[in-house]
Structure 1
């Protein structure tokens, strides 16, 4: 990296619009441009408000952002994040535009992220690359054997730096402005299949007090019950307070979240849930966050039940949103089968990479 490039840590502004927020807004623009270029879609863009809300609250996760400037302008960035309660990994996100690639910027940022990870005492680095729906040219197959991603400059940098492609995720979209007849039919069939042992419950955050502990338990199972290949993922510990903090971040960022869940009547515990989220612009793309059927409750059509219920409910929450965007591991055929049956179609892909530090 030459002497005209300066690497420093980004200081977070008080608000997205404050006088000290110009660098942060440039970071958000860089992030969204990189996502658009790599995935070939605008669906993954974030607003300054939602991104800042997540960064400023450090109770459950901490993210440091390192940037490189040239003549005062931001030309590259990397985030280094880690959970506060879970000790194993750091998650990094490298952002450099194609026109700035090959000048040492990406190498310097990746080296700084590894240095920070070692300082934190973490033994694993993880990151995700974005790829278009149709790969042109050479591809890479993950360790799971499921799916492929394009062999890009970022993929080669990671591979040459000791990272392994562990998993591929499919990004799919559902047309919210089309017919919902198939969703209604699937919903009714799944409700019959679920039987009387399961009752549908729905809410818009904040979560009702009587459901918080059960919801916390279900969220903790996202770290144990979702296919993750060989990615080293700590079992997460959730309680009602952590649910409240998460929802406060979402609300502070201008986001609305709807949850549809299946309650197991004999035990009073949540057995499955689905989350749909949209930012303050109700005409924007909807994002599906978590969807899970706990392992011990699989085989009762609960995944189909909660997905369809939330899609039908969403028509009242955000009637002008054009589509839902979601990610699922390519080996997660149970959930992909549900998506395909009700009309989700592939848009882009993501590669999950991991480096073990020694």
Structure 2
């Protein structure tokens, strides 16, 4: 057992990853990938340090802070926190990153307490985090308050429970083979388009969002935290406008990423009422990630979710023909969206648990 004292210091956010002070931030990206690999065998779930850097540098909409745990000179864990910048915001989202080699040394507990103290200092009283899980294989599964989905216990979930966190929701991580026959997507798109009728028309673009669409896109992006199923997770309502969309576009493409958007406009009102986003890093042979997908509550039942998903996937196969698969997360209680995914060929590969504590 080591006797070297544990130290926890702030994570430096460099101006550039080539700068001398960038080593810890680069290690942060590498640790993210390691944790995803250890927990579920999917390192590509994590963003790279280059993909995260712009979001950490721009504090306009979210403040990101991190802390590095060391024994001597060795990094043994980190914790990152994200704070929405709206004046009314109450939540602090955090991510504990301790590799398996150090999970039994009290480092997780120390970093969790450090994160909670940081949240208190910033006046936040709702703490939220997510854990990664492989599919359930035993009888000791954890069931969220929603009653939908099950996850196996882990060292991190046990720690959170011991500190008073409740499992609020389970999300399913599914993947689709992008090399599969496109006939399923084409048929589903044709049927859904005919069903939706003439009041709806499809839109498509790649970031940056065209200026003429920013206001409409801002309105539907704002609804992701209010209209998407979230159990009892208390997400802060977000304030969106065209400028925020432009800032987000810069952050999402700063490291050479490609982002494609498929949307549906309600012609009588001119409102964007559904959207789907696909993103890939600068390596176009890597895994594609689905970001937001939403159908505005009052327009559900018209198969708009199928339209945006299929339209974007079909277009994506032309834009990025070398990406092998797309990964997405959906709440287990969101059966309408999971029904679409399953019909299109998505298969579950891992799960996430959403945890919350009020202090």
TM-score, normalised via structure 2 length: 0.97
What's the CA shift for 1:88?
A: 1.2
User: Tell me, what secondary structure is at the counterpart of 1:116?
Assistant: helix
Distance 1:297 1:45 in 2: 33
* Partner residue in 2 for 1:210: 212
Moved more, 74-83 or 46-55: 46-55
What's the CA shift for 1:137?
A: 5.5
Contact preservation (8 Å) 1:90, 1:122? yes
What's the CA shift for 1:3?
A: 4.7
What's the CA shift for 1:316?
A: 1.8
1:80 aligns with 2:77: no
* Partner residue in 2 for 1:200: 202
Contact preservation (8 Å) 1:137, 1:151? no
What's the CA shift for 1:134?
A: 4.0
Contact preservation (8 Å) 2:10, 2:66? yes
User: Tell me, what secondary structure is at the counterpart of 1:266?
Assistant: coil
Distance 1:234 1:263 in 2: 26
Distance 2:255 2:243 in 1: 19
1:22 aligns with 2:23: yes
* Partner residue in 1 for 2:56: 55
What's the CA shift for 1:255?
A: 1.2
* Partner residue in 2 for 1:9: 10
Question: How is 1:161-200 mapped onto 2 (pairs within 5 angstroms)?
Answer: 161-200=163-202
Contact preservation (8 Å) 1:60, 1:83? yes
What's the CA shift for 1:22?
A: 1.3
* Partner residue in 1 for 2:330: 328
TM-score, normalised via structure 1 length: 0.97
Question: How is 1:134-145 mapped onto 2 (pairs within 5 angstroms)?
Answer: 134-136=136-138, 138-145=140-147
What's the CA shift for 1:136?
A: 4.2
* Partner residue in 1 for 2:266: 264
* Partner residue in 2 for 1:93: 95
Contact preservation (8 Å) 1:40, 1:131? no
Moved more, 93-102 or 9-18: 9-18
Residues 296-334 of structure 1 deviation map (CA, whole Å, 9 limit, x = unaligned): 101111000010000001012211001000000000000
Contact preservation (8 Å) 1:216, 1:239? yes
Distance 1:154 1:276 in 2: 30
What's the CA shift for 1:253?
A: 2.4
- The one of 297, 312, 315 equivalent to 2:314 is 312
- The one of 292, 300, 303 equivalent to 1:301 is 303
Contact preservation (8 Å) 1:221, 1:294? yes
Moved more, 328-337 or 81-90: 81-90
User: Tell me, what secondary structure is at the counterpart of 1:324?
Assistant: strand
Structure 1 residues without counterparts, runs of 5 or longer = none
Distance 1:348 1:194 in 2: 32
What's the CA shift for 1:40?
A: 2.2
Contact preservation (8 Å) 2:33, 2:44? no
Residues 17-62 of structure 1 deviation map (CA, whole Å, 9 limit, x = unaligned): 3222111111111111001111222330322210112111111001
* Partner residue in 2 for 1:283: 285
